[in-house]
Structures are given as structure tokens and as C-alpha cells.
Amino acid sequence: MTNYHLEPPNHFSLPRRIRRLGELAYNLWWTWNPDVQRLFKRIDKDLWERTSHNPIQFLRQVGRAKLNAVTHDSYYLDFYDRAILGFDRYMNNADTWYERNNGSPKEELIAYFSTEFGLHETLPIYAGGLGILSGDHIKEASDLGLPLAAIGFLYTRGYFTQKISEDGWQEAHYLRLKFEELPIFPLLGEDDSLLTISVPLPERAVLARIWQIQVGRIPLYLLDSNVEGNSPEDRELTSRLYSSDLDLRISQEIILGVGGVRALRKLGHNPGVWHMNEGHSAFMALERMREFVSEGHSVEEAKELVKKETVFTTHTPVPAGNDEFPLWLIDKYFSEYMDELGLEREDFINLARHEVSWGDTFSMPILAMRLSELRNGVSDLHGHVAREMWNYLWPERKTEDVPITHITNGIHTGTWLARRLRHLYGRYLGRDWMEHLDDPEVWETVDNIPDEELWAVRRHLKRKLVFYMRERARDQWLHDGVHPVQVVASGALLNPYALTIGFARRFATYKRADLVLSDFERLLNIINRPNRPVQIIFAGKAHPDDNPGKLLIQKVYRMVKKAETGGRLVFLEDYDMNLARYLVQGVDVWLNTPRRPNEASGTSGEKAALNGVLNFSVLDGWWREGYNGHNGWAIGDEIDYDNPQLQDQMDAESLYDVLENAIIPLYYDRSSGNLPVEWIARMKESIRTLAPQFSMRRMVKDYANNLYFPLMDGK
Ligand SMILES: *Cc1c(COP(=O)(O)O)cnc(C)c1O
């Protein structure tokens, strides 16, 4: 192990009395504690907005006078002291769920590898659902006290910012991240030099430095190849997520897998459980095999030893979506590595050989399946699909016996719940409800919340969303020189009291963003009824190289711009965690229309449900498990047609029918005063049944009980 230290992060010059704000800024704990965010906001509200809720940028810019002012404000100081007390209690709590439940006498580290982490909008090192899941997973691991360390990338240019041209074409802008404004700190060696690791790439070694982000109690280590000593091209290796360039992609995956293991070793960690979240990081299993071989084990022994400590989560329900490389690329990148492992080429390839009609490939999920002891998909249906898809790896087994289980995805409650609802739940679910948020009994008491109070908060959240969109539209008009119709398309004409439907996700074609638009005349008729207006808000990015996805955005955008919509259809640019929070908290209905069974799980609908938003979705992924007939609505039934056009047509028919005959009448039924009583009843049913089951608390406990603990005990 190398002696290393963190550069002391608290370098702001703050008044003594509130000195520890700097510490709070450098621990992402604040991202799931909205009351702590108010500590910054209260000092200078305008600056807090201008810095996009980034405490580090905020503290670097805030004026001394404003800081001094709050040190004389006893209300503020009280608030500050309580936040610090809460933080210290959290960080030092020895009585965690893990302490009470792990059966293992010695504490073993769980190493969690993922190619993206969605922690907060100011850290654009995630693209979508996979990243949000990883981010939520480590936040919850912190809450539960799991001994976990995570490994990922610090992409120097992050994921792109999206702009939509007047004709609906997505433009991707990459900004270089300003590290000094992010809650990251470099790890330094003894002589204050950068701590780096080195990985072998063809005819050279590439260096990567190690950064750290503190996520509550969990360290997240991020690798970055932008280091002196690397060639200019190599310095850009880790600058962006998910390139379609094969050389770039395999290089990244080698840095993550091989480099990730080396980074953990360098920091003195000796994990007992290794978790690959999706196949991108599967080279880590090879590196650990290489370690065992270099210690004198045979390759077969090494393989068994690695397996015994490894967990793999697959997220991909379609073979085409899986990550694989042509064999010439494997020869180019791994010929020396094979020698070190003591494997012949054919045996090396056989670890991950995927036979496809156009020649064999090296498949990352197959490598991960072969070198893990426990494997899981991310919903019940996805578990079935994965067992079928990978059955041929276990040819002697019946499909239902293929050793892939499932744990359905969840969401981190603190991160996604609106602050006002958190306080409301706090009043009616019991003071310590957050300690028991996966306990269905606690959520039974949702029925005690008076309808008026719940409805008042829901109305507030929708107004907040609408005003936020209008401000963004105004900003675009003021600063971006957009055409007036784009101002309308961005939500300038939205009505804060109309039934509002949200559809926000990655624009991949199987998600069928255009399904709700497929009978446009019928839709116009539905949304424009004088006393029962309906509005639909779309948002989402397409991968920059995904032309069908970009064409789908264009198709939606062109329809949104039509005058006949009355401004009731909207497309919001640049879907990210910030916009996601506004949407899942602010709309009335969350729409999801994937073509089954492509949505392995989905999580955005879970965020919506937690906030009292009703789901209206195809019975795919998590919703197939969550829907009970009374807590939202289903689109279609569980029949899968062979003909995709027919499937789309049937699903669209069902969508319009339910919308017209169930959803709209229920929302606008105000026969008992001004409250939609039946709607609120459904909302409560949704919160009561879905919030505990689809919490990240339930999910991480399932991972611990079914995947992590068995491997800890198994030795
Ligand atoms: C939650 C979330 C996702 C994942 O949502 P899906 O249900 O998979 O569509 C993607 N992007 C952002 C920004 C999110 O917050």
C-alpha cells in the first residue's frame, strides 16, 4: 500500500463560526438532505441559483459581507448547528443496518464498479438510468453502513449538454469540467505527487490519476487519464462517455477494469466482494486472475478464486445491446496479457467467446457471467429474459434453472423526494420514518394524511415546475436567440392547473416516445377540450451517434411546434437529474411506453410514484410488478405480438382509451368540493404500495442479503 493523503478540501476562507460549511460542500451527503441545501441558499439566494446549486462554486464566489451577516443571525446559526449535528451523527453512527445484520465476523470491503455514476447534476459523469442506479446504490450503501468503495471515471468533458435547433435536430455540446468547482479531490502520494496507476495498452503504458468523491460514508474513486506523461491522445481517453469508437471503448474498459483493481490495491484495499455493475468493467476479473497467477496459482485455480468473490448485474435485455469486441481488437490489446495469464489465445478467447453469424466476438457480459459466482437481472421479467438469453452458456440446464436471479431496481428516497413531501411524510408517517422507509407498515399511514394537505403540496409542486419551465423558456429567448415558436415549445404557454403528463427518458426507439402522437388528430382532440385541458411534457437526450434516436426527437419536436397543440405539448431541452427532479415531482401522470420486454427495469416511474405522481405505463420492467389495478394505469395487457406495427397500434389504442375514459375524467371530477377525491385516493394507494417496495433501501438490502453476504460467508 502506498501512503497517501487527500488534499485538504476545506480551503475556503469562511468565518470561524460557520467554517464547516466547506466540509459539507465536499461531501455529497448534502445532495440528499434538502434542509442542508437551504444552508447555502439562505446566505445568498441569487448566487445559489446562479451557481446552479453547486455549493463549491457558491462558496468560492459568495461575498464576505453575506457570510458575516449570517453569523449574526441566530435563526441561521441554529439551523447550521442542527445540520452539523445531523452530519456528525450520520458519519459516526456505529449502529447501522450493516452492523446489526452482517453475519461475517470480519469486515470485508465490497468493491463496486460502474462506468457511470449519477450523483448530482453538477457532476455530469452519467448518461442515464445505469448511472442513476449506481449513484443511488452508493448513497444507500452509505445510509445502510455497508463497507463499500466504488470505482468509476471522471470524464473530463462529461456527458453532453443538449440543444435543439429550430428544426428539432439535437446538438451536442461538450464542456470541459472545471474540477476546482466540483466536490472532488485528488489523491496525493507521500511527496504530494499525484497518485497514479498504470495500465498496459498496445505498445505503451497509460497512466491514470485517482480522484475521490465522498458520498456520505462511501468513497468513490474516479480514474482520469488526463495526466502528464501520457500522449495527447491518451490524455483524452477518459474524456467522454460511451464512444462508438472501438479502440477508445476497449481502452476505457481496460482502464476501468484493470486500472480499477490496481487503484484499489494502491490505496491498500483488499475487497472480499467485487461487484460488476453491467459488463463494461468485466476486465477487472481478468486482472484479479492475473494477480492470482502471479502468486503461483494455476489458471484454473485463479478462475475459481476470482469467481468466489464476484457478483455481476446485467441490465441489457436484448443481445444487440450487449458490449462486445471483434477478436482482432482483443489480439491487439491483450496479446501480452494472455502470456502473463499463462493462457493460449484460444483459451483466452474462450473465456468470452460469442459465436455470431458474422464471426466470433469477445463478449463482456459472457466474460462477466463466466467469472462471477452470483448474477442478477434487474426485474422479475428481465430475470426471465436473461435466463433465456444466456441459457446456452449452461446448456445442461433448463431455462428456469439458469443461475441468474433478479433484484428489481429501486430509487434513493432522499435524493428523489420533494422537500415539502418529505416534511409532510415526516408529520404523518412518524418522526423516524426515514429509518424504516422500506417497511410497508410505515407507509400504511399515508392514509392519515388529510387530502387537502396532500393536494396542496401536489399543486405547489406543479406550479413550481411550470414556473421553472417558463423561466427557462424566457432565458432561451433572452440569451440563445431562439425562434419564438421554440419559446412556446419550451413550455411558455403551460397552465399550472391543467392535467399534466410527463414523458422523460433517453430517446431510444424502443421507448416509443411517438406512441402517444401516433393518432395526432385524436390526441389534439383530447388535449384541447375547453374545460379539461391536458398537457404533455417531453424531455430526453439521444446518444450523439444514435441517428434513429435523434430522428425521433425531431419527429416529436416538429409535432410539438404545431400551432394546433395550443402550446400544450412541450419538449424540454437537456434532460438531466435537475430536470428529472422537477418533472417526477411536478407532473400528475408519468407516461412510459417501451416495447416489451426492452425496459429491463426503469426507475423514473418509481421516482414519480414516491412523489404522488400516478404511473401510466406498459407492463414492462418494474411496473409489471408494481401495478395492482388501483395504483395507476396499465397500457395494453401482457400480450406480445410478433408484428411490431400491430403491437404499436394495439398499445396506442389502449393508451388513448385509458386516457380518455379513465384518467381525464378522474382528474377533473371535482364533485366533492374542489378536490379530486378519487384521484387522491389512487395517489395514496400508489404511494402506499410503491414507495417501500421500489426504494433503494429494499434493493440494497436485497443485494446485501442475496449477493454480498453469501460471498462474505462463503470463505
Ligand atoms: C431516473 C433517470 C433516468 C432513468 O429513468 P428510466 O426510467 O430508465 O427512463 C434517466 N435519466 C435521468 C436523468 C434520470 O433521473
Q: Is the CB of 603 under 6 A from ligand 1?
A: yes
Contact in structure between 190 and 228 (CB atoms under 8 Å) = no
Q: Are both 534 and 636 inside the same structural domain? A: yes
Q: 67, 53, 144, 64: which is closest to 102 by C-alpha?
A: 144
Residue length of the chain: 715
| CA 127 to centroid of chain Cα atoms | 8
Q: Which of 42, 57, 92 is the last residue of a domain?
A: 92
Q: Is the CB of 580 under 6 A from ligand 1?
A: yes
Q: What integer pLDDT is reported at residue 1 of this predicted model?
A: 46
Interval between CA 119 and ligand 1 midpoint (Å): 12
As a whole number of angstroms, the distance between CA 606 and CA 615 comes to 9
Atom of ligand 1 nearest to the CA of 505: 9
Contact in structure between 700 and 147 (CB atoms under 8 Å) = no
Residues near 67 by beta carbon (within 8 Å), at least 6 away in sequence: 14, 15, 18, 43
Q: What integer pLDDT is reported at residue 351 of this predicted model?
A: 96
Largest CA distance in the chain: 78
Atom of ligand 1 nearest to the CA of 576: 13
Of 241, 603, 607, 622, best ligand 1 pocket probe by most atoms within 8 Å of the beta carbon: 603
Interval between CA 647 and ligand 1 midpoint (Å): 24
Interval between CA 379 and ligand 1 midpoint (Å): 16
- Specify if 8 maps to a domain: no
Q: 278, 383, 405: which is closest to 622 by C-alpha?
A: 383
As a whole number of angstroms, the distance between CA 669 and CA 704 comes to 45
Q: Are both 624 and 510 inside the same structural domain? A: yes
Tell me whether strands 273-277 and 110-113 are parallel, antiparallel or unpaired.
Answer: parallel
Interval between CA 502 and ligand 1 midpoint (Å): 12
Q: What integer pLDDT is reported at residue 104 of this predicted model?
A: 65
Q: 144, 624, 709, 631: which is closest to 408 by C-alpha?
A: 624
Q: Are both 458 and 380 inside the same structural domain? A: no
Q: Is the CB of 378 under 6 A from ligand 1?
A: no
Q: Is the CB of 575 under 6 A from ligand 1?
A: yes
Residues near 81 by beta carbon (within 8 Å), at least 6 away in sequence: none
- Specify if 148 maps to a domain: yes
Interval between CA 607 and ligand 1 midpoint (Å): 9
Q: Are both 317 and 455 inside the same structural domain? A: no
Q: What integer pLDDT is reported at residue 372 of this predicted model?
A: 98
> How many Cα atoms are found within 13 Å in the side-chain-facing hemisphere of 695?
26
Distances (CA, A) of 235 to 116, 240, 280: 19, 11, 20
Q: Are both 110 and 247 inside the same structural domain? A: yes
| CA 573 to centroid of chain Cα atoms | 18
Which CATH number do you get for residue 201? 3.40.50.2000
Residue nearest to atom 9 of ligand 1 (CA): 505
Contact in structure between 322 and 365 (CB atoms under 8 Å) = yes
Of 117, 411, 506, best ligand 1 pocket probe by most atoms within 8 Å of the beta carbon: 506
Provide block-wise average pLDDT over 10 residues at a time, the chain (715 residues).
Answer: 58 90 95 94 95 94 96 97 96 93 77 98 94 98 97 94 96 92 90 91 96 96 96 96 91 98 96 96 98 96 97 89 90 95 95 89 96 98 96 96 98 97 96 94 96 97 97 92 94 96 94 95 96 97 94 97 96 96 98 93 97 97 97 93 93 97 96 91 98 98 96 73
Q: What integer pLDDT is reported at residue 105 of this predicted model?
A: 61
Backbone phi and psi for residue 122, each to the nearest 5 degrees, phi listed first: -75, -10
- Specify if 676 maps to a domain: yes
Interval between CA 575 and ligand 1 midpoint (Å): 9
Atom of ligand 1 nearest to the CA of 599: 8
Q: Are both 709 and 596 inside the same structural domain? A: no
Torsion over CA: 598, 604, 608, 613 (sign): negative
Atom of ligand 1 nearest to the CA of 504: 9
Q: What integer pLDDT is reported at residue 672 of this predicted model?
A: 79
Amino acid at 446: V
Interval between CA 674 and ligand 1 midpoint (Å): 33
Tell me whether strands 185-188 and 359-363 are parallel, antiparallel or unpaired.
Answer: unpaired
- Specify if 214 maps to a domain: yes
Q: Which of 92, 117, 135 is the last residue of a domain?
A: 92
Q: Are both 404 and 541 inside the same structural domain? A: no
Q: How many other β-carbons are positioned within 10 Å of the β-carbon of residue 49?
A: 12
- Specify if 404 maps to a domain: yes
Q: Is the CB of 505 under 6 A from ligand 1?
A: yes
Tell me whether strands 359-363 and 324-326 are parallel, antiparallel or unpaired.
Answer: antiparallel
Tell me whether strands 499-504 and 534-539 are parallel, antiparallel or unpaired.
Answer: parallel
Atom of ligand 1 nearest to the CA of 127: 11
Q: Are both 189 and 232 inside the same structural domain? A: yes
Q: Is the CB of 576 under 6 A from ligand 1?
A: yes
- Specify if 343 maps to a domain: no
Q: Are both 84 and 201 inside the same structural domain? A: no
Q: What integer pLDDT is reported at residue 261 of this predicted model?
A: 98
Residue 268 zone, left/alpha/beta (φ > 0; ψ -120 to 50; rest): left
Using omega within 30 degrees of 0 as the cis cutoff, is the peptide bond preceding 597 cis?
yes
Q: Is the CB of 131 under 6 A from ligand 1?
A: no
Q: Is the CB of 599 under 6 A from ligand 1?
A: no
Tell me whether strands 310-313 and 374-377 are parallel, antiparallel or unpaired.
Answer: parallel
Q: Is the CB of 119 under 6 A from ligand 1?
A: no
Using omega within 30 degrees of 0 as the cis cutoff, is the peptide bond preceding 105 cis?
no
Residue nearest to atom 11 of ligand 1 (CA): 128
Per the structure, the complete domain to which residue 73 belongs is given by 15-92
Residue 612 zone, left/alpha/beta (φ > 0; ψ -120 to 50; rest): left
Burial environment of residue 578 by CB neighbours within 10 A (0 to 12, 13 to 18, 19 or more): middle
Interval between CA 415 and ligand 1 midpoint (Å): 13
Q: Which of 39, 61, 92 is the last residue of a domain?
A: 92
Interval between CA 159 and ligand 1 midpoint (Å): 14
Q: What integer pLDDT is reported at residue 2 of this predicted model?
A: 54
Q: Are both 211 and 312 inside the same structural domain? A: yes
Q: What integer pLDDT is reported at residue 191 of this predicted model?
A: 83
- Specify if 99 maps to a domain: no
Torsion over CA: 109, 296, 337, 331 (sign): negative
Distances (CA, A) of 220 to 258, 270, 422, 539: 17, 15, 27, 29
Q: How many other β-carbons are positioned within 10 Å of the β-carbon of residue 388?
A: 14
Interval between CA 508 and ligand 1 midpoint (Å): 12
Residues near 140 by beta carbon (within 8 Å), at least 6 away in sequence: 412, 696, 697, 699, 700
Residue nearest to atom 1 of ligand 1 (CA): 604
Strands (DSSP E) along 578-675, which ranges? 589-592, 614-618, 632-635
As a whole number of angstroms, the distance between CA 194 and CA 208 comes to 10
Tell me whether strands 359-363 and 353-356 are parallel, antiparallel or unpaired.
Answer: antiparallel
Contact in structure between 469 and 558 (CB atoms under 8 Å) = no
Residue nearest to atom 5 of ligand 1 (CA): 604
3-state SS class at 594 = coil
Atom of ligand 1 nearest to the CA of 606: 7
Q: Are both 84 and 108 inside the same structural domain? A: no
Residue nearest to atom 12 of ligand 1 (CA): 128
Q: Is the CB of 602 under 6 A from ligand 1?
A: yes
As a whole number of angstroms, the distance between CA 547 and CA 199 comes to 34
As a whole number of angstroms, the distance between CA 698 and CA 693 comes to 6
Q: Is the CB of 122 under 6 A from ligand 1?
A: no
When divided into structural domains, the chain yields a total of 3
How big is the chain by its Cα radius of gyration, in Å? 25
Q: 163, 159, 141: which is closest to 150 by C-alpha?
A: 141
Q: What integer pLDDT is reported at residue 685 of this predicted model?
A: 98
Q: Is the CB of 132 under 6 A from ligand 1?
A: yes
Interval between CA 464 and ligand 1 midpoint (Å): 20
Contact in structure between 388 and 631 (CB atoms under 8 Å) = no
Of 121, 416, 604, 610, best ligand 1 pocket probe by most atoms within 8 Å of the beta carbon: 604
Q: Are both 375 and 477 inside the same structural domain? A: no
DSSP H helical ranges for 122-268: 129-144, 232-235, 246-254, 260-266
Interval between CA 277 and ligand 1 midpoint (Å): 16
Interval between CA 129 and ligand 1 midpoint (Å): 4
Q: Is the CB of 226 under 6 A from ligand 1?
A: no
Place of cell 422537477: 582
Q: What integer pLDDT is reported at residue 59 of this predicted model?
A: 95
As a whole number of angstroms, the distance between CA 348 and CA 335 comes to 10
| 0.95 exceeded by pTM | yes
> How many Cα atoms are found within 13 Å in the side-chain-facing hemisphere of 672?
10
- Specify if 253 maps to a domain: yes
Interval between CA 178 and ligand 1 midpoint (Å): 25
As a whole number of angstroms, the distance between CA 309 and CA 302 comes to 11
